[in-house]
A and B are shown apart, each in its own frame.
Chain A
Amino acid sequence: MDTISKEDIRKPENIVYKRTELLTDKVMSYCPGCGHGTAHRIIMEVLEEMGIQDKTIGIAPVGCSVLAYEFMNIDMQQAAHGRAPALATAVKRLNPDKFVFTYQGDGDLAAIGTAETIHACNRGENIVIIFINNGIYGMTGGQMAPTTLEGMKSSTSPYGRDIKSMGNPIKMTELVAQLPGTIYVTRQAVHTPANVRKAKKAVRKAFENQKLNKGLSFVEIVSNCNSGWKMTPNQANQWMVDNMFPFYPLGDIKVNED
């Protein structure tokens, strides 16, 4: 039997899949099993497939994805905690021909940056907001997030989130869907290949909306945090399916085709 050399495998005609050029070679700082890496990949794939990488500016948050700019091979800005939608507002208004997105976690978007999120959505800024919701503060070591579920344990809710004293988990996505400025609001996940394909389609739709100057598209990705949740990656994904999805159901929440 003839052996196939590596060189043969790498011939363009033999390539069936390759990593997008828009991800750098830098080893990602995310924990094994974390959804961030997949979320990064699908966004970069969409930019590459649309051929808009040379006119896209991404805004990284504070949180685990603070270093998103290390992995995304496009022009990036790193915002103060919660302020990414404010940066994105100015970048887009000053450069209407560019593509602009923010990439934010739940602490960033749903707690400290609530005002910036709501008002960017309400003004209908022509940008894309990607919202990674894992119900916990990963980077600072597993503290309670605004999206932490009732009864869910974290380092600042060690006996489980008590609604009476700690408040309710907030559904930002449903909230912004009520605002007339949002054009497309959806909730996705990236824990299975099928979900990754759906999530990528949603991200594509969001950027297509921006291309057509339609307004603000908001894509929530419910994700896991196996480190923060103190689980193995598989356990975390199963826990997410069993507990997060019932409270944060997947699917389109608002699709305005006008």
Chain B
Amino acid sequence: MSMKELRLMKGNEAFAEAAIRAGADGYFGYPITPQSEVMEYLMAEKPHERTGMIVLQAESEVAAINMVYGGASCGKRVMTSSSSPGMSLKQEGISYIAGAELPCVILNAVRGGPGLGTIQPSQSDYFQSTKGGGHGDYRLIVLAPSSVQEMADFAPLAFDLAFKYRNPVLILSDGAIGQMMEKVELQEQRPRFTEEEIRKNTPWATMGKTPDRERNIITSLNLDSHVQEEHNIHLQAKYREIEKNETRWETIQCDDAEYILVAYGTSARLSQKAVDIARAKGIKLGLLRPITLFPFPTQPIAELANRVKGILSVEMSAGQMVEDVRLAVGDKVKVAHFGRMGGIIPSPPEIVEALESKLIGG
């Protein structure tokens, strides 16, 4: 039997299965549409019998993220998942986790808001996800999967990045990516950390003060403002390091392109089809798909802006990522936004029409 395995899975299920295989120690969540499949899959799969991973349904999103905080403080691979209204509740805990510099993985299957909104796919949590989200100066590493395969691949990647930088990693998905099925190749099971590995590799973890070391304290509190500012400077330096090392993106048919779409996640899939439609009509269109939203692929967009006639940011929002696209492009070429809101998914022909009316004709 080969170690890798091919399956047809929903994105949410693929993420859950991949998390088990990534050696996750614990999942803590609270049901909310459209991501409840994650916990349902985990509960049905009994990962405790497979790897020792624990799964717990918490009393609220607030409790769930604080369970993640507690588990992460022990150097464990811990995770949670939610959707937009639940993510608002989690922001307090995420801010503490970012402040205390703990690794964890969070999935947000974005739905249209504000408020209770709709359960349908949306990308209206871009600002919240990429600019911090809770209180204080901090950033999450944000991965934007656009396929079921990436939902699976990003689980181990997210854990690895989280531990590499001692920083929470957010996987920004939606109900379309989460509930569609595609072919997925699953990685082989990797072991969970042993206590010896935790004590060696994450010496800051609170696993009990042994006589050979000072006590470990996990806190985000610095009553002395000078100490807090030092900590802020350290965090900012870390974010710059992340920007330097971890910016990920994909370009599709950009080599000869005269116009560029910038789109992530579900919108990137729609935009890929739009590229085909446009090219059939003789429009030289390409797509730049940010894979990380923080760090944002500013440099590649800036370089493309030197040789194209216009850039259309395609998002299922009122226009949030377009601000980062504009920052990258400056006044080199015209940047426009096209998006649908409230859980409406734009059709690929609509995207081409928007391109024609806002950039080519406009």
A: residues with CB less than 8 A from B are 53-57, 59-60, 66-67, 69, 72-80, 83, 86-91, 93-95, 98, 115-116, 118-119
Partner of A93, one of B26, B68, B207, B209: B26
* Chain B residues within 8 Å of A60, by CB: 219
**A-B contact sample (6 more), CB < 8 A, given A75-B216, A76-B215, A90-B78:** A69-B215, A73-B209, A79-B70, A80-B66, A90-B70, A94-B78
- Given A116-B59, A119-B59, do A54 and B209 touch, yes or no (CB 8 Å)? yes
B209 adjacent to A83 (CB under 8 Å)? no
Interface size band for B = 35 or more
Partner of B73, one of A55, A66, A87, A89: A87
The 0/1 profile, CB within 8 Å of A marked 1, for residues 216-243 of chain B is 1111110000000000000000000000
Query: Quick one: which of B60, B209, B210 has the most chain A CB within 10 A?
Result: B209
CA distance A94 to B92 in the complex (A): 22
* Chain A residues within 8 Å of B211, by CB: 54
The 0/1 profile, CB within 8 Å of A marked 1, for residues 17-32 of chain B is 0000000011010000
CB under 8 Å from chain A, chain B span 41-75: 54, 56, 58-60, 62-64, 66-71, 73-74
10 A-B pairs within 8 Å (CB atoms) are namely: A66-B221, A78-B220, A79-B96, A80-B93, A90-B56, A93-B56, A94-B54, A94-B78, A115-B59, A115-B63
CA distance A83 to B207 in the complex (A): 19
CA distance A73 to B25 in the complex (A): 27
A77 adjacent to B209 (CB under 8 Å)? no
Shortest C-beta distance, B206 to chain A (Å), equals 4
- Given A56-B208, A76-B218, A98-B207, do A87 and B92 touch, yes or no (CB 8 Å)? no
* Chain A residues within 8 Å of B208, by CB: 53-57, 74-75, 98
Partner of A53, one of B73, B209, B216: B209
* Chain A residues within 8 Å of B10, by CB: none
Shortest C-beta distance, A233 to chain B (Å), equals 25
B: residues with CB less than 8 A from A are 25-26, 28, 54, 56, 58-60, 62-64, 66-71, 73-74, 76, 78, 92-93, 96, 100, 206-211, 215-221
Shortest C-beta distance, B145 to chain A (Å), equals 26
CA distance A18 to B66 in the complex (A): 37
CA distance A55 to B207 in the complex (A): 7
Partner of A77, one of B58, B59, B63, B70: B70
B28 adjacent to A90 (CB under 8 Å)? yes
- Given A73-B215, A90-B78, A94-B25, do A83 and B63 touch, yes or no (CB 8 Å)? yes
CA distance A95 to B26 in the complex (A): 11
Considering only CB atoms, which chain A residue lies closest to B205 in the complex?
A: A75
Shortest C-beta distance, A194 to chain B (Å), equals 32
CA distance A95 to B198 in the complex (A): 12
Shortest C-beta distance, B90 to chain A (Å), equals 11
CA distance A57 to B58 in the complex (A): 21
Shortest C-beta distance, A64 to chain B (Å), equals 13
A78 adjacent to B70 (CB under 8 Å)? no
B210 adjacent to A54 (CB under 8 Å)? yes
B74 adjacent to A95 (CB under 8 Å)? yes
| The 3 A-B residue pairs with the shortest CB-CB distance in the complex, in nearest-first order | A87-B70, A86-B66, A78-B219
* Chain A residues within 8 Å of B210, by CB: 54
CA distance A90 to B58 in the complex (A): 10
B217 adjacent to A76 (CB under 8 Å)? yes
Considering only CB atoms, which chain B residue lies closest to A59 in the complex?
A: B70
* Chain B residues within 8 Å of A89, by CB: 56, 63, 67, 70
* Chain A residues within 8 Å of B63, by CB: 83, 86, 89, 115-116, 119
